[in-house]
C-alpha cells in the first residue's frame, strides 16, 4: 500500500493562538524577504482555534 506524501518547509503542530500566530508570522517574514515558504498547521481538534473559545 502506497502512502500519499506532502512536503512542507515548516510544520506547526497545534492550531491554537500560538500555532496560528507562528504560521502567520512565518508567512509574513517570508514575504518581506521575497521568499516562498510552505507552512502546514496540524490540529487534532475538530476546529481551528477551538481552544480560544474555552478560555
In a domain, 4, yes or no: no
pTM of the model: 0.78
Instruction: Identify whether the C-beta of residue 37 lies closer than 8 Å to the C-beta of residue 30.
Output: yes
Flag whether 43 is in a domain. Answer: yes
Task: Return the percent helix, strand and coil in the chain, to nearest 5.
Answer: 35, 15, 50
What's the pLDDT at 38?
A: 98
CB atoms closer than 10 angstroms to residue 14: 15
- Reading the block at residue 1, the C-alpha cell is 500500500
Structural domain of residue 44, as residue ranges?
10-53
Tell me if 2 is assigned to some domain.
no
Total tally of structural domains belonging to the chain: 1
Residue 44 lies in a domain: yes
pLDDT digits (tens, 9 = 90+) for 1-54: 899 999 999 999 999 889 999 999 999 999 999 999 999 999 988 777 666 655
Cite the beta strand spans of 1-55 per DSSP E.
10-13, 39-42
Amino acid at each position: 500500500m502506497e502512502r500519499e506524501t506532502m512536503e512542507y518547509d515548516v510544520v506547526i503542530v497545534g492550531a491554537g493562538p500560538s500555532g496560528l500566530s507562528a504560521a502567520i508570522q512565518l508567512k509574513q517574514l517570508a514575504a518581506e524577504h521575497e521568499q516562498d515558504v510552505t507552512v502546514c498547521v496540524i490540529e487534532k481538534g475538530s476546529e481551528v482555534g477551538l481552544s480560544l473559545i474555552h478560555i
